[in-house]
Amino acid sequence: MNTEKYPGKQDDIKFINENEGWYVNGYGNIYHTKNGGETWEKQLEKKGTFFRCIAFVDSLRGFVGTVSTDYFPNVTDTIPLYETKNSGKTWTPVSYSGPYVKGLCAIDIVKEQFINHGKTDYKIHIYAVGRVGSPANYIVSHDGGLTWTANSMNKDCKMLFDITMFDKNNGIVCAASDEDIEKSNALILKTTDGGKTWKKVYQSNRPFETTWKASFPTKKIGYVTFNHTIQIQQ
């Protein structure tokens, strides 16, 4: 990418079409392109913030999640989620009800089609989870981001890395069984009620392991990556 050098990885990237997209990183930067990534414009530099995930409802409305403090060095921002209503030109903190959300690692958006006065319309459901290093948080909006509700998932897992929702009720999360990586197994949980409850569908028997990210080319076929250490023979 023809942007400034950054010693860490670029953390997340989202395109709303073949031309317009955004990416974020742990240096507190948000970049924007309108030409399919040929050139990038820095929209925001926020020192002390580790931006971890980003998602857009449309060309104007988007959300970006942070890892928060007490995991990566030099991170001071404790706000877990920001929103924009002007294509990323400005970002403001998101208010929510429920327990404190200490960090987010993934955001997914579901557009539920319905008929509104004879015309096709969409209800927007937004789901976000985190974080690496614990605790396990889950935050959801069923009105396009106007209101948000947070819940703890620490009884089901100890770390959360990714979420894929197939519709407003059914989806999976990539997780870890323990906050101590030496004891952790890779873990995948499934919900059929929009995140109210979660059921374990996979847990590895190897220590030093977590899941990482999920990709589903179809609703039936999917792939989940995992992190492991070189000490463990796969």
pLDDT at residue 227 tops 90: no
Q: Work out the pLDDT band at 2, boundaries 50, 70, 90.
A: low
Provide the CA 38 distance to its chain's centre, in angstroms: 25
In whole angstroms, what is the distance from residue 69 CA to residue 119 CA?
45
φ, ψ (nearest 5 deg) of residue 65: -105, 150
* Residue 82: predicted pLDDT: 99
Return the C-alpha torsion angle 185, 188, 194, 198, nearest 10: -50
Share of the chain above pLDDT 90, in %: 91
65 strand-pairing partners: 53, 81
Q: Are 60 and 85 a contacting pair, CB within 8 Å?
A: yes
Domains parsed from the chain with CATH numbers: 1-94 (2.40.10.500), 121-234 (no CATH)
The pLDDT of residue 36 is 97
Query: According to the model, what pLDDT value does residue 5 have?
Result: 72
